[in-house]
């Protein structure tokens, strides 16, 4: 390149090969021209040309970084937008999968319920008087062996019948747990006609013996609330050995017998009454606690018909007692 104003061009020793390289540095007496990547830069201060060149390179690098960051930002916005569009489809797929799982679980539970199902049937014991009874039957798949079951007989109070135990779910629950559960209408209640044969203590004891014989029940657990104590209490005092267990629930008639009579009974007994039953509950306890093998359960905040007011608690303590007898 010719020198301006007669000045001779010379190679700068700090940039060897400048005449042949991609960049040419030519010194002039008053200024420096730099040819860099096809562009010409003029430096007025020749002593600081290297620093100015570094600044130019740094500026170019900064611009390149800014362009790269803008590109990444645009790419991020595009990815976010695409995910936003796809999110409803993803959520729908997850919901469909979850719903399918719930349906499968429901079908499995329904199948389990079909495999183990209970129906309560009614029947009549012929004779005088005829006796209506209800029994829970466990329906099982063909080929499933029937469990060896403990038998439970339910009597009822004055304002109730055998249907009380069906409506409460007790017959179904015990059948599901593997027990044979039977409830009867006492003479003069429900669909069992009144009979003079149960007007005496001996007649009532004979009545229960007949029921057990006709139904083929041996050594059951006898559940006896309130009025049914007229039947159950004399029965357990005379035929306690024929019972696997006894569950009196605030029964009547307990004060008619002596402590010595109660103390001779070896039948395991669960005494249940409500916390608010200050009448028959507390009175019957005074006599029944003379039974040698007894335990007492007081259902909190319950009255005389505590099994109706606290069915869950009643069922829990009853099942626990039955489990101990097996």
What does the pLDDT read at residue 48? 60
Q: Which range marks the domain in which residue 296 is found? A: 126-325
Are residue 26 and residue 174 in the same domain, yes or no? Answer: no
For the chain, what's the residue count?
326
The reply to whether 33 and 149 lie within a common domain is no
Q: Is residue 100 part of a domain?
A: no
Asked whether the beta carbons of 161 and 185 are under 8 A apart, the reply is yes
| Chain CA centroid to CA 139, Å | 25
CB 118 within 8 Å of CB 172: yes
Q: What's the CA gap between 317 and 319, in Å, rounded?
A: 6
| Angle of CA points 126, 129, 130, to nearest 5° | 35
**β partners of residue 140:** 116
Highest mean pLDDT of the ranges 98-102, 120-124, 147-151 = 120-124
What is the average pLDDT value for the chain, to the nearest integer? 81
- Which of 277, 284, 287, 294 is an active site residue? 277
Q: Is 102 a catalytic residue?
A: no
Q: Answer whether residue 233 is part of any domain.
A: yes
**Of the listed 181, 192, 224, 226, which one is catalytic?**
226
CATH number at residue 242: 3.40.50.1820
pLDDT tens digits, residue range 193-241?
Answer: 999 999 999 999 999 999 999 999 999 999 999 999 999 999 999 999 9
d(CA 157, CA 317): 20
Count how many domains the chain has: 2
Backbone angles phi, psi at 79, to 5 degrees: -65, -45
Annotation says 304 is catalytic: yes
Note whether residue 164 is domain-resident. Answer: yes
Q: How far apart are CA 316 and CA 283, in angstroms?
A: 24
Whether pTM > 0.85 for this model: the answer is: no
Q: What is the pLDDT of residues 155-192, one digit of tens each?
A: 999 999 999 999 999 999 999 999 999 999 999 999 99
Helix (H, G, I), strand (E, B), or coil: what is residue 313? helix
Q: Write down the pLDDT at residue 77.
A: 76
């Amino acid at each position: 390149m010719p020198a301006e104003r007669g000045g001779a061009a010379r190679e700068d020793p700090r940039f060897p090969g400048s005449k042949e390289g991609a960049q040419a540095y030519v010194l002039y007496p008053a200024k420096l021209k730099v040819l860099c990547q096809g562009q010409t830069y003029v430096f007025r201060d020749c002593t600081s040309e290297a620093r100015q060149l570094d600044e130019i390179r740094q500026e170019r690098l900064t611009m390149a970084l800014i362009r790269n960051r803008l590109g990444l930002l645009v790419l991020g916005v595009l990815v976010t937008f695409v995910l936003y569009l796809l999110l409803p489809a993803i959520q729908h797929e997850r919901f469909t999968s979850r719903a399918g799982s719930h349906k499968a679980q429901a079908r499995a539970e329904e199948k389990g319920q079909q495999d183990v199902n209970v129906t309560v049937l009614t029947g009549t014991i012929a004779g005088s008087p005829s006796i209506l009874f209800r029994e829970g039957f466990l329906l099982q798949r063909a080929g499933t062996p029937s469990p060896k079951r403990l038998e439970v007989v339910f009597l009822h109070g004055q304002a109730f019948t055998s249907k009380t135990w069906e409506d409460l779910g007790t017959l179904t629950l015990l059948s599901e747990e593997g027990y044979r559960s039977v409830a009867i209408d006492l003479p003069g209640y429900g669909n069992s006609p009144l009979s003079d044969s149960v007007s005496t203590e001996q007649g009532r004891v004979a009545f229960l013996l007949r029921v057990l014989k006709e139904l083929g029940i041996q050594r059951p657990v006898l559940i006896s609330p309130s009025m049914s104590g007229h039947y159950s209490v004399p029965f357990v005092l005379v035929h306690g050995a024929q019972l696997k267990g006894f569950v009196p629930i605030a029964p009547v008639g307990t004060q008619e017998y002596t402590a010595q009579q109660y103390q001779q009974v070896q039948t395991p007994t669960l005494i249940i009454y409500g916390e608010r039953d200050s009448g028959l509950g507390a009175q019957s306890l005074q006599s029944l606690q003379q039974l040698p093998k007894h335990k007492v359960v007081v259902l909190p905040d319950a009255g005389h018909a505590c099994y109706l007011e606290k069915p869950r608690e009643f069922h829990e303590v009853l099942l626990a007692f039955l489990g101990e007898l097996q």
